[in-house]
Chain A
Amino acid sequence: MEPILEFKDITYYYVSGGKRIDILEDADCSFEPGKLYTIVGPSGSGKTTTLTLAGALESPRGGHVYYRGKDIREIGYTEYRNRNIAIVFQAYNLLPYLTPLQNVLAAMDITKNPIEDKKRRAQELLARMGLTPDQMRRNINKLSGGEQQRVAIARALATDADILLADEPTGNLDADTAQGIVEVFQELAHQDGKCVIAVTHSQEFSSQADVVLRLQEHRLAG
């Protein structure tokens, strides 16, 4: 299958205290739709950096990131983030002054989702994530961690992006809730054909991924 996202000769480093710290060095990797990827590695190895490069939140020092064969620099970072990727954060990062339903609708407005009945689509997504109609209208702070993470995933799906990036999505959740989230990701990859790339420390999560990429010696090895 044609990859949807590719890293070609990616190099990334930062300078700290006058010293160059290498994260990625001529790293190559490709990601296909319909698969769940996890990126693992010790702390500070560059897992989150890989995610930020994939999400156009950072520019590589060298090399290229391609989306469907096109350099994302040519697409434009804002446009790329707006249309092609969705990010789920460890800390959910929902807008606290909006209900779950309004959070999902906000994402649709920002990404200019062309769907006509946005409200119905938002409700469907939240229902798919297991939220009841009452929970959809509740104050965000009154939801559990797992419920908030599900809302975050629904918000990410509302953009109809092909690629879903997740940064430690189960980091703040208990085992049962975390398992529920993993199953959602699997469903999104296998049933919806999304390319799901998740950074995780969790062995349980990694073991259920289609592809596990390890960061070692500044490269991604699968």
Chain B
Amino acid sequence: MPFLKRALRAIVYYKKNTLLLFLIFTILFSLVLSGLCIRNASQEATRRTGLAIGGSVLVQSMGDSAQASALTLESAQKAANHPAVRDYAFVGQVLACAADFRGMGPAFEDITAGDYDLTLKGSNGLHPELRDDCRLIEGGIGETGYAVVNQWLADANGLSIGDTITVAANRAGGSPVELAVTGVYYRNTGYHYGETEQYAENMIFTDLGTLEKLGGGGLLQWAEYTVTDPADIPGFMADMEGMAFPEREDLGFIALDGDYRKVAMSMETLVNVATLIFAAAIVLGVVLLSAMVMLSLSSREYEIGVLLSMGEGRWKVIAQLAVETLLPVLLGVTAGVLASGQTAAVAGDLLGASQKGVEVGIGGPAIGLVYLCGVATALLASCVTAYKVLRFQPKKLLMSIE
């Protein structure tokens, strides 16, 4: 292709222009790739940090326990099946009566004659209160039909691991449920006020099935879902409504991801800055290149006129000038890619990437993207060329001399 040969020779001949283009685009695309690098590394660091910090969603019943609530064991289980959920804890509570033993009161022998003696707290695993506020001194939890009792209650009733106790739904002879004592716990502080069932010693930890048998109706106080990636929390919360809790009036939904959000926000700022650098560099590239192309065209009008007067097609002239622009730009992009390896290393150090196990580098897609940007920049600037050449009148070449 003759225009290609002319283009290559012109690139060598107009070496100052070529070198300038090359340098500008080396610098610009170093910036572009650095921006991309920082952006990608920030996003990866955010993701890793998120996985390490974790997050959860708390769903709790806000209404009176006597009222209907949408937080049933069944609906909570549906939400637990969401792919974002890594683990979950369900917690419920019912009041019951001690059928074959005595609950603690102001004085052991003098039980306050309330409707209920006991507070039974159930969970699908180790109850959070048992885990966080108490100390297991003997045994542990069971699978189903178990009771973990307070040390004072056990001592007062002569209970030990392996014994059974019977609890009833209410004094009027509600369904009794037999529980096996599988553990004893100690609680440092108790509260003693009001009704008997509020005495800390009268708190028994058991399973959710037991609560259901005691007439809990499968209702839960709250459910906490631990997600694998806190970034999935918004999506999970949006899905939950349709999945499990279509009637949400009595429910509160709380995202427990404060720590993750702090990290994500600071990283987001970095990502935005990097994206800005990327966009600014592209725009600057187009503007600079267009300006250089226009200047160059002005000084080569005669040359263009001669080519057109010889009968060369306008589009071939445009193609020649486009190649003269494209080649230095692509060489500049290549140099920018090579130079940005250093920038990537610096960005990685700043982000503490190695400590987080994040590899900061430039992948194939990023390199492909910058080459595409380089080509697009050159083609956009070539539109200036095309506009001028298509409007150029070869007769001006002769007329201007007359």
- The interface of chain A, by Cβ under 8 A from chain B, is 43-44, 47-49, 51-52, 55, 57-58, 78-79, 81-83, 86-87, 89-91, 93-98, 102, 106-107, 109-111, 159, 167-168
Contacts and interface: CB of A to CB of B under 8 A. Distances in A.
A47 to B, nearest CB: 7
Nearest to A44: B402
A51 B398 CA distance: 9
Which 7 pairs, one residue from A and one from B, show the smallest C-beta to C-beta distance?
A82-B311, A97-B13, A109-B2, A57-B395, A93-B306, A81-B311, A48-B402
14 contacts: A43-B402, A47-B402, A52-B398, A55-B309, A57-B394, A57-B398, A79-B311, A90-B401, A93-B397, A95-B307, A98-B9, A110-B311, A167-B398, A167-B401
Interface in B3-35: 6, 9-10, 12-14
Contacts of A86: 310
A168 B397 contact: no
Nearest to B6: A106
B375 to A, nearest CB: 24
B312 interface: yes
B303 interface: yes
B50 interface: no
A75 to B, nearest CB: 12
Contact of A159 (B303, B306, B310, B313): B310
A51 B394 CA distance: 12
Contacts of B312: 110
Contacts of B193: none
Contact of B9 (A49, A51, A55, A97): A97
Most central of B6, B305, B395 by chain A CB within 10 Å: B395
Interface string B384-397: 00000000011101
B305 A58 contact: no
B310 A48 contact: no
Nearest to A161: B311
A130 B174 CA distance: 126
A102 B2 CA distance: 11
